[in-house]
Structure 1
Amino acid sequence: MKNLSFINKLIYSANIIFALVLLFSFALPFFPPKTFSILSVLNLGVPFLVLCNVLFFLYWLFQLRKQLILSLLTLCLGYLMFGSIYKFSASKKIESPNNFKVMNFNVRLFNVYDWIPENNIESKIVDFVKTEAPDILSIQEYHPHKNVNLSFFKYKYEHVSGKKIKYGQAIFSKYRIINSGSVEFPNTPNNAIFVDIVKGKDTIRVYNVHLESLRINTRIEVLKTEDSERLLKRAGSTFKMQQLQTELFLEHKKKCKYRVIVCGDFNNTAYSYVYRKIKSDLNDAFKEAGNGFGRTYDFKFFPVRIDFIFADEAFKVNGFKSYNAHLSDHYPIMSTFALDD
């Protein structure tokens, strides 16, 4: 650093800090949140940390300085471990007579509390789903709204609770449901539900998983008033709950004898412990066939992917789409799968 100007020394010092924090965040998915519960919040900031390191790399590159090596090596390590946060390839789209489409959507109670200042959001969601025509629809924060009619799906399973406003998870299907149930999570309205559907000669298990929410208001004016220590403690407690919920879900899934599709809102990113454990040997449909950032949550500062569709390796991933429909605080995603006859 001795050949650097004073300003460049300050910038390189900041570069070292951001690179080390990013490296530490790469290690966190391999440790249970109970070990580093508060520090696990770094998983949420990986896209931001990656962007910062890209900017540091470009800064040193334009000056032809060897300091570029630090961020370059950090970014390369992240790519080797997790892949890119941005997929440059075009979305895969393969037509097949065996194709069927699975959509996942956290609908935030169909806007029952008017978070989005527009009329008839619930009807717009129904129209959107009808237009995109998924064969299976997995919904988190489902509310049996009087104006919501999804009867174009012949079969459904919903699991709702609550006194004033009933809400929970639901799965709608154009294929016959022969079995259904819920994986209950303690001390929370969140849970995981499942259905076994019959498609042709195959029986498929579809899970809808909704892990504990951080309950962080993303508006800047609200974040400014939040006590940072209290915010971190709440986040740490949430990550511990997510770990327990993941363990309960995996214990249930382990007993399943069918090929599996897992949909859900994990309230955590692809750089988290819960993502790594739930995905396991399943395929992430976005990584197989999507493109871009795959943003699924309306976060103002950088693109966040916290909603996922995974599938057993027996399924071919023939397509994936991330939508920009602003009908909730989440964006819907849909994957096209096929099973060979």
Structure 2
Amino acid sequence: MRRSLAFKFTFLVIVWLLLAIGCMQVPPRLFWPAAFGAMSLPLALGANLLLAGYWLLRRWPVALIPIAVAVLTWPHLMRGLALHPLYTSAAPASAPELRVLSANVRIFNVYPQLRNEGLQSSKGLIKWVAEHPADVICLQEFYNEPRPTSDGTVFNAVRQIGRLQKREAFVSNTLVNSMGGEFGMAIFSRYPILRRGTITFNKLTQNHAMWADVRLPSHDTVRVFNAHLQSMSMDERDIVDSYSSKHGLKTKGLGLLRRFKRGVVSRSIQVDTLVRRIEASPYPVLLCADLNDTPFSYSYDQLADHLQNAWATAGTGFGASYNGKLPLLRIDNQFMDPRWQVQQVRVRRDVPYSDHFPLEATYRLQKSR
């Protein structure tokens, strides 16, 4: 009887796993509850591995079934928990190299509720970015004050980041406040930017994308995309409250559900637009993005169908990029098309100024069209 139940449970877990993978293919704009099924994939993958261990101890031939499923779904497991401790790149040393830094800098903590004494976090983050040796820097939630204000030149980010390493700046502004402060995104490059453009998702907001064609010293031209997809606009305290008690679920749950729906639907539309622009690129593509989504989502899956994820390819561990109470959350990513090979990738958890940790990687260009 116990063995019969174990067989049935194994079958159900495999069905659950396959359905969760299928849910990642469903655009939330068509059926948004599928996003919940996709989010359950890590649990299904873990349950399948536990069942493989169970059957190895009890009846090893049966273990071949969950083991075979684990092998077939291994790339999905690697999305969330990369295991590459001995990774080495096969790209030749003579191939063109590009060092890339991406980060959501949370408008350099300019809002009063984000500031600390002496604007130390703001100054520290801008200084850290400016001194970073990256060839290309992609920043989301960027903020710049081109003219001195009551805070002096603390937030003149374009000048500080561009001047130290002699970088060219491309900034897409979505809003200018009464003090002349500019909100948007930015791409900085030590190499010439030949062309540039902005991708709006119906209208220009903080959630948009931008691209720049960068000419490398090898005379290869590459296209760098920088994207910031729709946020859930969910306070992590509300999320914690919703699952901590029945009262929290009752008072917070419905509002969180509405925001969740709005977020997944918007991101599905935005990522489809972004993928079309990536497909149309005449040059090798690198994408830096704050997806505001996990590796088990429609947004990530659509990008993974066209590009390789740097962390899933060369990282080790969860690669958590969110600096908050929600654990193991990787919503910041760098992607590359097959003409690139990642040399190394790292989440800079030692840089705590924002609610996102920066992500840095080095790439070698294998070939161009």
For normalisation by structure 2, the TM-score amounts to: 0.77
For the pair 1:105 / 2:123, whether they are aligned, the reply is: no
- Counterpart residue number, 2:348: 323
Gapped runs of 5+ residues in structure 1? none
User: Matches of 1:312 and 1:213 in 2, distance apart?
Assistant: 25
Aligned mate of 2:70, from 67, 76, 83: 76
- Counterpart residue number, 2:150: none
- Counterpart residue number, 2:208: 191
Superposition pairs of residues 202-221 of structure 1, within 5 angstroms? 202-219=220-237
Query: In the TM superposition, what whole-angstrom CA distance separates every residue of 1:193-242 from its partner, at most 9, and x where no partner exists?
Result: 01111112111110001111111222365545453233223212221111
For the pair 1:26 / 2:42, whether they are aligned, the reply is: no
**CA distance 1:47–1:128, change in 2 (3 Å):** farther
* Contact preservation (8 Å) 2:232, 2:262: no
For the pair 1:289 / 2:314, whether they are aligned, the reply is: yes
Partner of 2:316, secondary structure, is coil
Q: CA shift at 1:51, angstroms?
A: 5.1
- Counterpart residue number, 1:336: 362
Q: CA shift at 1:44, angstroms?
A: 4.2
* Contact preservation (8 Å) 1:159, 1:193: yes
Superposition pairs of residues 156-171 of structure 1, within 5 angstroms? 156-164=169-177, 166-171=182-187
User: Matches of 2:3 and 2:314 in 1, distance apart?
Assistant: 47
More helix by share: 2
Letter in 2 for 1:178: L
**CA distance 1:144–1:305, change in 2 (3 Å):** same
User: Matches of 2:104 and 2:127 in 1, distance apart?
Assistant: 16
Gapped runs of 5+ residues in structure 2? 146-152
Q: CA shift at 1:69, angstroms?
A: 5.9
- Counterpart residue number, 2:140: 140
For normalisation by structure 1, the TM-score amounts to: 0.82
Superposition pairs of residues 121-140 of structure 1, within 5 angstroms? 121-140=121-140
- Counterpart residue number, 2:270: 245
Letter in 1 for 2:215: V
User: Matches of 1:117 and 1:182 in 2, distance apart?
Assistant: 33
* Contact preservation (8 Å) 1:155, 1:177: yes
**CA distance 1:249–1:88, change in 2 (3 Å):** closer
Query: In the TM superposition, what whole-angstrom CA distance separates every residue of 1:127-180 from its partner, at most 9, and x where no partner exists?
Result: 333454111000111111542321224201111222546422110110111111
* Contact preservation (8 Å) 1:154, 1:173: yes
Letter in 1 for 2:353: L
* Contact preservation (8 Å) 1:91, 1:290: no
Letter in 2 for 1:191: H
User: Matches of 1:261 and 1:328 in 2, distance apart?
Assistant: 23
> Percent same amino acid among aligned pairs?
24
Query: In the TM superposition, what whole-angstrom CA distance separates every residue of 1:2-56 from its partner, at most 9, and x where no partner exists?
Result: 579xxxx9x9999998776554322211111123313304444544665566667
* Contact preservation (8 Å) 1:266, 1:306: yes
**CA distance 1:43–1:117, change in 2 (3 Å):** farther
Letter in 2 for 1:80: W
**CA distance 1:93–1:76, change in 2 (3 Å):** closer
Aligned-CA RMSD value: 3.4
Worse-superposed segment, 11-20 or 111-120: 11-20
- Counterpart residue number, 2:297: 272
Query: In the TM superposition, what whole-angstrom CA distance separates every residue of 1:286-316 from its partner, at most 9, and x where no partner exists?
Result: 1222111111113534312221111121222
Superposition pairs of residues 175-186 of structure 1, within 5 angstroms? 175-186=191-202
User: Matches of 1:229 and 1:14 in 2, distance apart?
Assistant: 32
User: Matches of 1:216 and 1:74 in 2, distance apart?
Assistant: 38
Partner of 2:270, secondary structure, is helix
Letter in 2 for 1:169: M
User: Matches of 1:91 and 1:144 in 2, distance apart?
Assistant: 40
Letter in 1 for 2:33: I
* Contact preservation (8 Å) 2:135, 2:189: yes
Superposition pairs of residues 294-309 of structure 1, within 5 angstroms? 294-309=319-334
Worse-superposed segment, 303-312 or 89-98: 89-98
User: Matches of 1:202 and 1:140 in 2, distance apart?
Assistant: 26
